[in-house]
Amino acid sequence: MAQGWFITFEGPEGSGKTTQIALLRDYFARLGLEVVTTREPGGTPAGDRIRSVLLGNETGSLEPETELFLMLAQRTEHLHKVIHPAVAAGKVVLCDRYFDSSMAYQGYARGLDPQKVRDIHAQFLPGFLPGCTVLLQIAPEQGLERARHGGRKQHDRIESEALEFHRRVYDGYNSLAQQEPERFVVVQADGDPQAISARIIEGLKKRLTFPDGNK
């Protein structure tokens, strides 16, 4: 491919993005595509350090704007140093969370104006939007239980927010998907991982031209 693909995965906590990214990576590799997997917050050395400030419980509370600017800072590094170069080299980038997480979490859930969140990205990160976004939807109660691995894993700073916060994340994602149906592939995230993967691939095929002769 002359120009690669930039595909992001989004969803509330515990929506199974990690499993689905691994399945899609293997599928694309079988088609002979070169795949890069990455995540946010993170994806670069500076981004990983910013991640520990954002998610560490020892950070305590942050102003919504502070949280947004830290997300934007790690994204700027990630987009310039990892995502754009890989796509320009013809690779497929599968990114676990990206811009829509800032819309859902800092915008809809923390209460910052979503239009302002969108505008600030457009201003500082031209060409920042992915070609396709897979939204794995799961009810917050169910997702949080899965994210906790049945209570065995400690919550990070954002996961620890109240259920009401996570309901706003869920609703925010639905609004985003409704606003851009051509970019979003929405798949319900409960059920058999292989069946979910098949639905994701079906949705992507409607939006991207896959290499010939492969199923």
Q: How many CB atoms lie within 10 A of CB 81?
A: 15
Q: Is 10 in the site for ligand TYD (CB under 6 A)?
A: no
- Those residues whose C-beta lies under 8 Å from the C-beta of residue 65, and which sit 6 or more positions away, are 112
Distances (CA, A) of 62 to 50, 58, 66, 74: 13, 11, 6, 16
Residue closer to ligand TYD (CB basis): 93 or 96: 96
Q: Is 91 in the site for ligand TYD (CB under 6 A)?
A: no
Q: Is 8 in the site for ligand TYD (CB under 6 A)?
A: no
Nearest-approach distance from CB 2 to ligand TYD, in angstroms = 29
Binding mask 185-204 for ligand TYD (x = CB under 6 A): --------------------
Q: Which residue has the tokens 């706003």?
A: 168
List 20, 35, 38, 41, residue binding ligand TYD (CB under 6 A):
41
List 5, 79, 159, 166, residue binding ligand TYD (CB under 6 A):
159
CA–CA separation, 80 and 3 (whole Å): 16
- 3-state percent breakdown (helix, strand, coil) of the chain, nearest 5: 55, 15, 35
Which residues lie near ligand TYD (CB under 6 A)? Answer: 13, 17, 40-41, 55, 71, 96-97, 101-102, 105-106, 156, 158-159
